[in-house]
Amino acid sequence: MITIRKGTPQDIPAAFDLVMELAIYEKAPEKVTNTPARMLEDGFGKNPIFEFYVAEVAEKVVGMALYYIRYSTWRGKCIYLEDIVVTESHRGKNIGKLLLEATMQETLAQDAALLTWQVLDWNEPAINFYKKFDAELDGEWINCKLSAEQIKTYFTKA
């Protein structure tokens, strides 16, 4: 029996474990600088900035979908799915589908115009999963980012 529900503060340790499992899968665990304490503050503190769904099997968290509100100047309110993760031992059991569907329902409930996310170009299992939903995989846009360290360096040179 799979249960999908909104994440709670008590779920943060399990959610962080899933983040680390994803980072290992993506061959970048050393890039994780977040902590369970920071996730707790960012998700349930004075100004929460994300929400998440968890998937439970036998009262154990085995998956999550973490999302937040973003704003498009063209479309208005949107939901950004930061990560959807199912622990390896529970993949292939429709848990990812249930988590994505919960996030899709949240998009409609919040009257958001879009649900967006990213997928690594080498992650064929995820790409094929998203194609089952008729998701538009847009190769036209280039992702851009600046780390806090890069920003500090920029302003130091200015």
**Secondary structure of the chain in the HEC alphabet?**
CEEEEECCHHHHHHHHHHHHHHHHHCCCHHHCCCCHHHHHHHHHCCCCCCEEEEEEECCEEEEEEEEEEEEECCCEEEEEEEEEEECHHHCCCCHHHHHHHHHHHHHHHCCCCEEECCCCCCCHHHHHHHHCCCCCCCCCCCCCCCCHHHHHHHHHHC
25 catalytic residue (yes or no): no
> How much is the pTM?
0.93
Catalytic entry in 25, 67, 130, 154 = 130
pLDDT at 143: 87
* pLDDT 10s digits, 103-126: 999 999 999 999 999 999 999 999
Class (C level, CATH) for 2-157: alpha beta
Domain spans of the chain, in order of start = 2-157
pLDDT at 127: 94
Q: 6-9: which pairs have CB atoms within 8 A and are 24 or more residues apart?
A: 6/51, 6/52, 6/53, 6/54, 7/43, 7/51, 7/52, 7/53, 7/54, 7/64, 7/66, 9/40, 9/43, 9/44
pLDDT at 146: 93
pLDDT-flagged residues of the chain (< 50): none
Gyration radius of the chain's alpha carbons? 16
